[in-house]
Amino acid sequence: MNLSLQPTVLSVAAAVLVMAAGIWMSRISCKRNPRPLTFKLEILRLVILGAICFLLFQPEWVIISEPKEKPKVSILEDRSGSMETQDVEITPQHVVARSAYVRELLKGHSTDSLKETHVVENAPFSVQPAPDSQDYALASTDLAKPLEEAMQSSDNLRAVVMFTDGSHNASSSVLTQAQRMRSRGIPLFIIPAGSSVPLPDLALQDVKAPTYGIIGETVQIPFTIKSTLGREVRATLTLSSKDTGKAVTRTVTIPAQGEVSDAVLWKIEKEGSETLELKLPIQPQERVRINNASSFSIAGRRESIKVLVIDTLPRWEYRFIRNALYRDPGVDVHTLLFHPGLKEMGEGPGYLVKFPEKMEELAQYDVIFIGDVGMGSKGLTPEQAKLLKGMVEQQASGIVFLPGYQGKQMELLQSELADLIPVTFLTNKPEGTTQAGPSPLILTPEGRGSLLTMLADTESENEEVWRNLPGFNWYAPVERPKAGTTVLAVHAADKNAYGRIPLIVTQSYGNGKVLFMGTDSAWRWRRGVEDKYHYRFWSQVARWMSYQRNMAAGERIRLIPNPERPRLGDTLTVTAMVSDKQGAPLQNGEVFLDITAPEGTTSRVQMENMDHTWGSFTASVKINRPGKWILAASSSDQPDKAVMLPVITMNETLEKIGQPINTALMEEMTSITRGRMVKAEEIQQLIREIKDLPVPPPMEKRILIWCHPYTLAALLVLLSLFWIGRKLNGTI
C-alpha cells in the first residue's frame, strides 16, 4: 500500500497561495484577539486549509495485490441438450454426437504439462436434466454463467478454454462477460463441436389450431413445414383423432432447403373436446425424427352468437347483412335502426326500440355492426359510444364499421369510437367516391390466407374467387390504414400517396377485434350464385369477430387466453370477464384461477381486477412444462360455477437437436477477449500457447481519497468544530 499524488503546476501554485493567505490571516487574527482559544482555532483553520490543498493533488491509496496462488486455467465443457446432435463426422461411416466428440478430445489430449505451472480446472456447464425431470423442458444453454463463475473462482485466472456448439439460448448476456474478461486480460479459446450445416430434416412448425369449432362446420388448421433436405419432397400429412380414429389427409410439396405454409381442413362432428394429431411422414434421409408430429385439442360446441346491427337507412347492404345473419341458425340478430325520416325507431321482427340502456343488456352481444351512423338524436350519444368502446376493449366483443354515402362516420371521430376505427379518413370528402363502373377488391398477401376472407378451400382458389366477385361502385373516403392494423383487401385500381386504397382492414383492440369494410356493395356477390359467397363471408365475420370472446364461456364467466396456443416458456395472460347473479359486470367481488399442471399439481391465484366497471380480471401463468394444463376460473359469489379452459403445450424443449453451430457468436466472443477459435488438431499447440502467456501485472486497487465520501465527512466535521469554536470565542 502506498500513497499516490498527482500534482500539477496549477495545483501547487494554488496550494502555496492559499496556505500563505491562511497564515497571514491567522497572524492578524491572533494579534487582534490574544485569547488562548484564538490560537487553537487558527491552528485548526490552517489544518483545514492544508487538508483542502492536499486534496488538490488528487491523493490516492494504491493497494497492490500479488497473486498468492498458481495461475489458473478453466476448461469448460458444454453438456446441454443440443450437444446430443450427431453431426461430427470422424469418418464418412463414423458420425458421433457432439458431446461424445468433446469427451474424446478431453481424453485424448493430456493437460499434465500445463498442470506443472498452472491450476487446471475442468468444469461442465448447462448439464441436461433427466427426461423425467420438471426442469427438462426449459433447460437451456447458458454460456455467460460459466464464464462469470470462472472469473469469480480465481483472481489469477490466466485463460478459459471452452468446448461448445455456441447455441446460447439463455436470457443472460454472454458478450457482457466477454467484455469483463477483456478488461481483466483473460483470453477465451473456443473449440467448436458440431457442423455449421443443419442436419437433413423436415420439421413441422407453427401448427395454429383454433381452440374450438362449431358442430357441423369445418375449421382450418394452418401449419408450416421447414426443410433442410437437399431435394424437393412431396409428402402427405395425416390429421387424425385420437378419440375416434377419424383421419383426413393433405398433400404438400416441400421445396429443397425451404419451407411451405398450408392448411388442413377438419369437420367438427361431436360436442366436447377432441384430441387431434397432425403427422408428417418421416423421410429416409431425415436425421432428426422427433419434430414430425404435433398434438392439440379442439372443442366442438353448439353455437349461439348474439349480433347487434345499428344503422340509419335501410340500404341494400343493411338489408342483405341482416337477412344473411337472420337465416344463420347459429346467430341471434337484433337490429337498431335510426331512420332519419321517422320520429320513432324502426320496428319489426328482431328490432330494438331503443339502444340497450343497461350494461348487462349490451354485454350480451358478441358482435356489433355500426353502419352509416353518427352522433346526435338520430345516432349514438357520447355515453353510448363509450360503452361500445368498452365492449371491445374489456368484454372482447367485435365491432364492424360499415360506412355509407351519408358520411356519418366522420361524426364518430369526435367520440370514444375514434380510437377503434382502423383507418384515417379524407375529412374534405365525407360522402366518399362514386365510380362510373364497378371495381373489384384485390386481396393482400395477408388477406389471401386469412380465415376471415377465405371463400374457397385453398389460397390460390380463394384469390381467384375474389378476383371474379362482382365489383362495387362506391367506397368510403379512406386515406390510409393506421399503424398496427392488418389490410386484407384493397381497391383494384385507385391509389393515393400511401398506396392502394385499403377497404377491408382489421385490428385488435384491447381484448376484442375491429373490422372496417370500406364499401357497401358486398350484397352484389349474390349475383348469379345467390348466397354462396355473401352468406359465407358474413357468417365468417360473425364467427371470427366473436371467436376470442367464446373460447371458454360459461353462464357468468368468460375466459380469454393470450396467446391462444402458448409455447413452452411463454407467459400466458388469462383475462376473465365476470358477471354477477343479475348479469351485470362484477364490480365488488373476488375471482380465483385454479391452475392444474400437466403432472397433476394444482395451485390457486387471485385474479387482479383490471376494470371495476366492466368486471374484467386478469392473471398470468408461466407455461414451464409441456402437456395439458387446466385453468378454471370461479368467482367468490358463485364458487360452484367455474369455467374451465384446457391449454395444450406441444411436447418440445428449448434445446433443439439438429441445428448448426453458432459460429458467429463464438467468433465474436473470442474476438472481444483477444482469444481465438481453435481446431481440434491445434489443441496441443494451444496448451503451449497458454503456458507461454505473459504474466499479467499485479492487480491494483485505488482508493480515491480526494473524492471519497469519508473525506468529505471529515472536512464537514472540522469545519463544524471551527464554526463552534469561533462562536464560543466570541469571534462571530
Whether the predicted pLDDT of 357 surpasses 90? no
Number of CB atoms found within 10 A of residue 653's CB: 19
| Residue of 295, 253, 257 lying closest to 274 (CA atoms) | 295
The parent domain of residue 227 ranges over 202-301
Mean pLDDT of the chain: 87
Task: Tell me what percent of the residues of the chain surpass a pLDDT of 90.
Answer: 36
Q: Which residues contact 601 (CB under 8 A, 6 or more apart)?
A: none
Q: Where are the alpha helices (DSSP H) in 380-521?
A: 382-393, 409-412, 445-448, 459-468
pLDDT above 80 (res 14) = yes
For position 500, what pLDDT does the model report? Answer: 92
* pLDDT of 228 higher than 80: yes
Q: 148 with 192, same domain?
A: yes
Mean pLDDT confidence for 105-116: 84
pLDDT of 191: 95
Confidence of residue 638 (pLDDT cuts 50, 70, 90): confident
pLDDT score at 529: 64
Domain match, 113 and 82 both? yes
Residues 6+ apart with CB under 8 A from 474: 405, 432, 433, 434, 435, 519, 520, 521
Q: Are residues 360 and 375 in the same domain?
A: yes
Q: How confident is the model at residue 531 (pLDDT cuts 50, 70, 90)?
A: low
**Both 166 and 217 in a single domain?**
no
Q: What integer is the mean pLDDT of 647-664? A: 84
pLDDT in tens, 339-353: 877 777 767 778 888
Query: If you average pLDDT over residues 253-282, what whole number do you get?
Result: 88
- Domain's final residue, options 282, 301, 320: 301
Task: Tell me: do 605 and 497 sit in the same domain.
Answer: no
Residue 167: give its domain's CATH number: 3.40.50.410
pTM of the model: 0.66
> How large is the average pLDDT for residues 397-413?
91
**Both 193 and 206 in a single domain?**
no
- The per-residue b/e assignment along 509-542, b for 16 or more CB within 10 angstroms, e otherwise, is bbbbbbbbbbbbbbbbbbeeeebebbbebbbbbb
The C-alpha cell 472469473 sits at 151
Q: State whether 568 and 617 are in the same domain.
A: yes
Q: Is 614 found in the same domain as 641?
A: yes
Residues 158 and 297 in one domain: no
Per-residue confidence (pLDDT) for residue 675, from 0 to 100: 93
Residue, of 37 and 76, whose pLDDT is higher: 76
pLDDT at 698 over 80: no
- Residues 584-608 have pLDDT tens digits of 778 778 899 999 988 888 999 999 9
125 with 77: CB under 8 angstroms?
yes
Q: Is the peptide bond before 284 cis (omega within 30 degrees of 0)?
A: no
Output the domain CATH number for residue 590.
2.60.40.1930
Number of domains in the chain: 5
Q: Which pLDDT score is estimated for 399?
A: 95
Give 530's pLDDT tier (boundaries 50, 70, 90).
Answer: low
The CATH number assigned to the domain holding 287 equals 2.60.40.10
Model confidence at 177: pLDDT above 90: yes
pLDDT of 490: 93
Is the same domain home to 598 and 639?
yes
pLDDT at 362 over 80: yes
Amino acid letter for position 377: S
Average of per-residue pLDDT across 482-509? 92
Whether residue 48 contacts residue 715, with contact meaning beta carbons closer than 8 Å, is answered with yes
Q: Which residues pair with 253 in a beta bridge?
A: 234
Lowest mean pLDDT: which of 96-100, 352-356, 532-536?
532-536
Going 48 to 49 to 50 to 52, the CA torsion angle's sign is positive
The reply to whether 189 and 126 lie within a common domain is yes
Please state, in angstroms and rounded to a whole number, the distance separating the CA atoms of residues 218 and 536: 12
Same domain flag for 367 and 447 = yes
pLDDT recorded at residue 227: 92
- Return the CATH number at 310: 3.40.50.880
